[in-house]
Structure 1
Amino acid sequence: MTLLSLASVTASYGASQALFGVDLDIREGEVVALLGRNGMGKTTTVKAICRMIPASGSMQFAGQDLMLLPSHRAARLGIGLVPEGRRCFRDLTVAENLICAARPGEWGQAEVETLFPRLAERRGQRAATLSGGEQQMLAIGRALMTNPRLLILDEATEGLAPVIRQEIWAAVARLKSASGLALLVIDKTLKELKAVADRAVVLERGRTVWTGPIAELTPDLSTRYVGV
């Protein structure tokens, strides 16, 4: 069953148009990689889905028209975002960051701490005192506490030490195998993406230029559109 569907989506920042025709769909329980070079519209697409910027075209989530909804109502439908740059509440503790986002469902504080044991160890610490990797785990945990149907990870491993990146990828793999959660993942590391993603959608200058099983994303296509 299709959970999220975008067709011919356009979006602008004031007079500057950023999306010129994005087509994307995600099924229940599917992991989709959103790829493209920097500045090609990936984060703008995420902002449009989360209703953080105005957009035109067609966007449906769980049978409802996203275009009609403000951002908080889109979130309540079941869209969880782990934004680029983490954006934890710095003056709140780890536990407070998690609790403030909590909604009823499968994911609670105990489940998040099982996924990321470091968060249990740092439960009483202020988010500002955590390492970058720990803050990223907290951002993912906070999004899971909303019990979303779709989790969006925007550059979740960017700038992290290799050992922490592997912990994040291991968590993504567990999320895929242990739940019916759908994921939309933006990242630059194709090797790790190919291990967890079912399909890929590639953007070029604000348009969808390729979509298909990620195993069919050839080195020629990667070089042409992704730059790796």
Structure 2
Amino acid sequence: MTLLTASNITAAYGASQALFGVDLSIGAGEVLALMGRNGMGKSTTVKCICRMLPSGGTLTFDGSDLSRLPSHRAARLGLGLVPEGRRCFGNLTVHENLIAAARSGDWTFERVVDMFPRLGERRNQNASSLSGGEQQMLAIGRALMTNPKLLILDEATEGLAPIIRQEIWSVIRSLKAETGLAILVIDKSIKELRDVCDSATILERGRTVWTGKIADLTDDITTTYIGV
């Protein structure tokens, strides 16, 4: 069953158009890589899906039309965003960050700290006192606490130490294997994306230029659209 469909999505920042026709779809339980060089429209596409930026085209999620919804109503349909840059609430504790937007469901505080034990150890610390890796764990845990149907990870391993990056990838693999959660991943680590994703969509200058199974993503395609 298709969970999210984006068709011919266009968007602009003032007079500067950023998206010229993005198409992608994610099935229930599917892990999709959204790929492309920097500045090609990946994060803008996420903003459109989460209704943080007006867009043209068609956006449907779990049978509902997203295009006319404000962001808070789109989130309540089951969109869980881990934004680029983490954006934790620095003056709130770990526990407060996790429960701030929590919704009832399988994901509870106890389940999140079982996945990220360090968050349990630091539950009473302010988020601003955490390391970058710990803040990333907190951002993922916060999104999971909304009990989403689709988890969106926008550069979730960027700027982290290699050992923390591998821990985040291990969590993504566990989520795929154990929960059936649909996941949209933006990341530059092609090796890890090949390992965890089912399919991929590549953007070039605000347009979808390739989509298909991750197994069909050849070196020639990645060199053309992703390589430096």
Q: Which residue does 2:40 correspond to in 1?
A: 40
Structure 1 residue identity aligned to 2:101 = A
* Structure 1 SS opposite 2:72: helix
**1:1-228 superposed matches below 5 A:** 1-227=1-227
Structure 2 residue identity aligned to 1:36 = G
Q: Which runs of 5+ in 1 are unaligned?
A: none
Structure 1 residue identity aligned to 2:136 = Q
Report runs of 4+ in structure 1 exceeding 2 Å deviation: none
Structure 1 residue identity aligned to 2:62 = A
CA offsets 1:155-177 (integer angstroms, 9 cap, x no match) = 00000000000000000000001
Task: Give TM-score, length-normalised by structure 2.
Answer: 0.99
CA drift of 1:227 comes to 1.2
Distance 1:115 1:173 in 2: 12
Distance 1:180 1:195 in 2: 16
Distance 2:197 2:116 in 1: 21
CA drift of 1:101 comes to 1.6
Structure 1 residue identity aligned to 2:57 = G
CA offsets 1:33-70 (integer angstroms, 9 cap, x no match) = 00000000000000000000110000000111100101
CA offsets 1:53-93 (integer angstroms, 9 cap, x no match) = 11000000011110010100000000000000000000111
Distance 2:134 2:31 in 1: 23
Distance 1:59 1:227 in 2: 29
* Structure 2 SS opposite 1:68: coil
CA RMSD of aligned residues (A): 0.6
CA drift of 1:215 comes to 1.4
Equivalent pairs counted in the alignment come to: 228
Task: Give TM-score, length-normalised by structure 1.
Answer: 0.99
Distance 1:217 1:25 in 2: 17
CA drift of 1:96 comes to 0.6
* Structure 2 SS opposite 1:67: coil
Question: Percent of aligned positions with the same letter in both sequences?
Answer: 70
Distance 1:148 1:31 in 2: 14
CA offsets 1:86-119 (integer angstroms, 9 cap, x no match) = 0000011101100112100010001101111111
CA drift of 1:179 comes to 0.7
